Every structure is written in structure tokens, then in C-alpha cells.
């Protein structure tokens, strides 16, 4: 019953705020759209707690640097964006262009100042990412980017993409890895939700100056190791490292939807 109520609320809240944001986008400036989206994410976090029974515990706020920085979280749940966005007043987030296919989303994302990139990647996508990120950085906004680029099931990790490294290098910004156990309670595979306490943890910043290989290795180790610990804390199981997998978009059709061998069920 909890899951049914939450899913109904999710749909109603999302449709209502999308329409409201589209109307707000007709006004000058970003203020009204930003206000609507802030209300949206806060109401979704409320619905997660009140209807689905998922409470978000935030840890590591004291580790957040002063000024501008880049957030690089684990992405294992559809609720990740709501839980992170709700922690900040104004956040520039990186998203694939697939969201622009939904009616009204393109206008809202543009007015909100989201950093929209071609999901297929390549040099043009990297340039678009750099240009949009430069604008957000110039406005002093913190930037959210998911290094894996896809939702990864609990116990699975995908190849970490280098866009976050180039962004940090080009703008001389620290990167804050973020671990999460929210995927245990709100998975991408099932419509049912599991009540409990999910942890969102900001980890020690990675300061500018590392070369690409060292940076990527440190980021992946920080996010994946701590996420595995938080998942173990949430499930009561031993700490188990995530296995490397491929997102469905990169897998043969016959293998899509299957978890990699060794992944948690």
C-alpha cells in the first residue's frame, strides 16, 4: 500500500510541478522556475518519508568546501536527484538530452540552467558540457554530475566517465564524491519501495592538481567503497565490492535487463 500511495503521489506531484514550471518559464529570469523546482524536490523528499517510509540521513556536510565545487555522486536510485538537489539552494545539474524528449521539459531545463549533453557522448558532447558548465561556474553555482552517466543497480558499477575530470581541471574546482544507500530502498528495477533509513554522505573533497588517471581512480574508489559500506549498513549484509557492468544501452539486446554475474539481488 505504501508503494502504491507513493507512486500515485510521485506521478501527481511530478505532473503538477512540470506544468507549473513550464508556466513559470514564461517569466523573465530563473527565479520563478528555480522556486518551483525547489518546492518539487522538497515535496518529493517529503513523500518519500511520509508515504514510502524512506527517511534520508545526510552525513558529511562539514566536509563541503567553501565556494564553488562539483558534486560527483553514486547513481543507484531514481530518488538520488531529489535527495541531493534538496540539500542546496541552487544547483546546476548535468543531464542527458533524453529528458528533452518529454513535453515541456526542454523549456524548463533551459530556463533552470541545467547542463544538457548529448547522451551519445563524443567531442561535441564534451564541448557542450564544457560550455554549459563554464556558464554555471561563472554564476557561482555548484555543479552536480553523475560520473557513471547511468543508473547502476545496487552492487553494480559502470565505467566512470572523464567529463567530471575535465570540468574540475578546466575550472580549477574541488570535486566532492557522494556515496548513497538510497538504491536499497528505491531501486530502479521494481516499483515497490522498501521503508527504512537511507544515507546520503558527502565525502572528503578531491582537490585540483591530480592527473586524469589518479583523479579517476581516487573518485571511483571513494564513491564505490563508501557506497558498499553504506549498503552493508542498510541491509545487514557483509561489505561487498560492486561488480563492473555495462548499462543496457551498451549491451547486446539479449543481455539487456540482466544483472552482471556476482551482483547482489
Domains of the chain (ranges, CATH numbers): 55-246 (3.40.1130.10)
Range scoring the smallest mean pLDDT among 15-19, 34-38, 58-62, 137-141? 137-141
pLDDT in tens, 203-232: 999 999 999 999 999 999 999 999 999 999
**Percent of the chain residues past pLDDT 70, beyond the cut:** 86
List residues bridging with 59 in a β-sheet: 201
pLDDT in tens, 54-109: 999 999 999 999 999 999 999 999 999 999 999 998 888 888 766 656 666 777 88
Work out the pLDDT band at 143, boundaries 50, 70, 90.
very high
Average pLDDT over residues 134-148: 87
Contacts (Cβ under 8 Å, ≥6 apart) of 195: 2, 52, 53, 54, 185
pLDDT at position 105 is 73
Q: Read off the pTM.
A: 0.88
Top-confidence residue, 255 or 35: 35
pLDDT at position 157 is 96
**Would you say residue 198 has pLDDT above 60?**
yes
pLDDT at position 257 is 61
Work out the pLDDT band at 122, boundaries 50, 70, 90.
low
Highest mean pLDDT among 12-16, 139-143, 250-254: 12-16
Amino acid at each position: 500500500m505504501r508503494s502504491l500511495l507513493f507512486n500515485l503521489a510521485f506521478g501527481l506531484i511530478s505532473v503538477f510541478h512540470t506544468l507549473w514550471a513550464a508556466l513559470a518559464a514564461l517569466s523573465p529570469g530563473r527565479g520563478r522556475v528555480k522556486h518551483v523546482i525547489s518546492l518539487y524536490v522538497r515535496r518529493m523528499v517529503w513523500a518519500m518519508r511520509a508515504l514510502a517510509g524512506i527517511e534520508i540521513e545526510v552525513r558529511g556536510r562539514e566536509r563541503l568546501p567553501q565556494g564553488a565545487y562539483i558534486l560527483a555522486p553514486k547513481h543507484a536510485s531514481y530518488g538520488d536527484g531529489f535527495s541531493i538537489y534538496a540539500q542546496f539552494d541552487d544547483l546546476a545539474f548535468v543531464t542527458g538530452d533524453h529528458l528533452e524528449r518529454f513535453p515541456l521539459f526542454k523549456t524548463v531545463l533551459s530556463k533552470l540552467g541545467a547542463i544538457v549533453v548529448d547522451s551519445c557522448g563524443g567531442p561535441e558532447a564534451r564541448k557542450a558540457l564544457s560550455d554549459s558548465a563554464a556558464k554555471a561556474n561563472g554564476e557561482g553555482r555548484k555543479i552536480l554530475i553523475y560520473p557513471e552517466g547511468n543508473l547502476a543497480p545496487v552492487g553494480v558499477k559502470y565505467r566512470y566517465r572523464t567529463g567530471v575530470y575535465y570540468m574540475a581541471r578546466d575550472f580549477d574546482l574541488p570535486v566532492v564524491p557522494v556515496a548513497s544507500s538510497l538504491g536499497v530502498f528505491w531501486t530502479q528495477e521494481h516499483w515497490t519501495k522498501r521503508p527504512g533509513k537511507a544515507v546520503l554522505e558527502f565525502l572528503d573533497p578531491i582537490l585540483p592538481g591530480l592527473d586524469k588517471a589518479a583523479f579517476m581512480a581516487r573518485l571511483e574508489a571513494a564513491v564505490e567503497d563508501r557506497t558498499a559500506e553504506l549498503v552493508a549498513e542498510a541491509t545487514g549484509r557483509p561489505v561487498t565490492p560492486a561488480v563492473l557492468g555495462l548499462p543496457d544501452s551498451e549491451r547486446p539486446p539479449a543481455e539487456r535487463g540482466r544483472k552482471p554475474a556476482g551482483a547482489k539481488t
